[in-house]
């Protein structure tokens, strides 16, 4: 199909995306979101680690950057400068499918899993699980979330909701900790 034969304009594409996000964002358990923010606040004297693969990983990195701007000691799992995780630290893993591999050994840190699948390995291992009601790129879209079928490819809807969800956490933390953008800018990279 040629692009000039599409029977509607580009604006319709954005309307579709915003409608999908709007419907599903209201299905999030905001009690769990509040629990996550309080868990993050409790780690002000500890370290926070974030992890994710692919596009979820990129969004996790954006979240880590904002936590850094808020004054938290934060690291991204898999980077060359990532330190060891220790007792009392927090690991936040974002994975649409929830198939993120977690070491089966004893762990003495707290684990938060953000996923679409309440029955996934990640959800079962996490101390706190946040379910984002979006389709995953590898799950049967016709059998999930009351027949929720996204017109978007693969995991796009999960990744969009993940970004908005984490931005909401940042905004809440700003208010909860009385930190404003002017203070956050003092922690922004000044060597680029």
Q: What is the pLDDT of residues 62-102, one digit of tens each?
A: 999 999 999 999 999 999 999 989 999 999 999 888 887 77
Q: What pLDDT score does 98 carry? A: 82
| E strands present in the chain | 47-52, 73-76, 90-94, 110-115, 128-131
The closest alpha carbon to 58, from 160, 187, 170, 188, belongs to: 160
Q: Write down the catalytic residue from 19, 79, 110, 159.
A: 159
Q: How many residues does the chain have?
A: 192
Whether the pLDDT of residue 144 is over 90: the answer is no
Domains and CATH numbers, the chain: 3-185 (3.40.50.10490)
The reported pLDDT for the residue numbered 142 is 45
Question: How distant, in Å, are the alpha carbons of 8, 109, 177 from that of 43?
Answer: 49, 11, 13
**What is the model's pLDDT at position 137?**
54
Answer yes or no: is pLDDT of 2 > 60. no
Comparison of pLDDT for 188 and 46, the residue scoring more: 46
Which of 5-9, 93-97, 128-132 shows the lowest mean pLDDT across its residues? 5-9
Evaluate if residue 166 carries a pLDDT over 80.
Answer: yes
Evaluate whether 111 touches 91 at the Cβ level (below 8 Å): yes
Considering only 4-8, 56-60, 117-121, 125-129, which range has the smallest mean pLDDT?
A: 4-8
- Choice among 15-24, 33-42, 68-77 with the minimum mean pLDDT: 15-24
| E strand or H helix at 130 | strand 128-131
Full-model pTM: 0.86
Q: Are 39 and 89 in contact (CB under 8 A)?
A: no
CB 116 within 8 A of CB 135: yes
Half-sphere exposure of 19 (CA within 13 A, CB side): 11
CA 97 to CA 54: how far, in whole Å?
A: 12
What are the angstrom distances between the C-alpha of 1 and each of 6, 7, 150? 8, 11, 20
Would you say 96 and 118 are in contact if contact means Cβ atoms under 8 Å apart? no
79 annotated active-site:
no
What pLDDT score does 152 carry?
73
The band of 1, judged by pLDDT with boundaries at 50, 70 and 90, is very low
Instruction: Give me the chain's average pLDDT, please.
Output: 84
């Amino acid at each position: 199909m040629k692009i000039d034969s599409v029977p509607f304009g580009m604006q319709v594409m954005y309307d579709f995306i915003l409608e999908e996000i709007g419907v599903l964002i209201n299905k999030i358990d905001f009690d769990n979101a509040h629990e996550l923010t309080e868990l993050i606040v409790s780690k002000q004297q500890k370290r926070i680690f974030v992890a994710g693969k692919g596009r979820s990983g990129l969004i996790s990195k954006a979240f880590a950057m904002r936590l850094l701007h808020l004054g938290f000691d934060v690291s991204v799992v898999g980077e060359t400068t990532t330190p060891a995780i220790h007792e009392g630290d927090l690991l936040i893993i974002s994975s649409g499918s929830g198939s993120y591999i977690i070491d089966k050994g004893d762990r003495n840190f707290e684990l938060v899993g953000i996923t679409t699948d309440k029955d996934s390995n990640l959800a079962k291992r996490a101390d706190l699980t946040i379910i984002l009601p979006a389709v995953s790129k590898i799950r049967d879209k016709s059998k999930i979330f009351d027949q929720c079928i996204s017109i978007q490819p693969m995991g796009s809807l999960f990744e969009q909701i993940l970004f908005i969800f984490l931005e909401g956490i940042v905004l809440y933390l700003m208010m909860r900790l009385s930190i404003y953008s002017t203070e956050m800018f003092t922690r922004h990279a000044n060597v680029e």
